[in-house]
């Protein structure tokens, strides 16, 4: 969990929002696991270990509980797994994609990839 003011190596001087930083860190973790090319023990899950990450951010407020933030990140994680795994997905994008499937065509996958 990132908290306001936490130093993030190599990202401190950039103009990224906390949410963008969280997505970037998630993508770096996903890429690091992917580059290890670890064999997966369960054949039905695919030949290699992958990492799916759900990201949620929120500005802290008085009397706010972290349960809501954790629940949103958990929803994004399950949406990432459902969208094909091995990706980083924002809670906002997951909610938008879910809303689009309920009301009309899906516009984007909401996956973050390294640049």
Beta bridge partners of 54: 89
Sorted by where each begins, the domain ranges of the chain are 18-112
pLDDT of 115 higher than 80: no
pTM above 0.85, yes or no: no
For residue 82, the tally of other CB atoms under 10 A from its CB is 13
Rounded Cα gap, residues 65 and 47, in angstroms: 39
- Tens-place pLDDT, residues 70-100: 999 999 999 988 888 899 999 988 777 666 6
pLDDT for the residue 45: 78
Secondary element (H or E) of residue 89: strand 88-90
Q: Which residues, in sequence order, are bridge partners of residue 88?
A: 53, 112
């Amino acid at each position: 969990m990132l908290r306001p003011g936490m130093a993030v190596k190599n990202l401190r001087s950039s103009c990224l929002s906390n949410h963008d930083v969280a997505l970037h860190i998630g993508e770096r973790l996903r890429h690091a696991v992917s580059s290890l090319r670890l064999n997966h023990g369960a054949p039905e899950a695919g030949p290699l270990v992958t990492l799916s990450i759900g990201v949620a951010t929120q500005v802290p407020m008085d009397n706010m509980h972290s349960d809501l933030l954790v629940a949103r990140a958990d929803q994004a994680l399950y949406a990432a797994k459902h969208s094909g795994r091995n990706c980083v997905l924002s809670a906002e994008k997951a909610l938008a994609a879910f809303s689009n499937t309920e009301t009309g065509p899906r516009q984007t996958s909401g996956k973050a990839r390294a640049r």
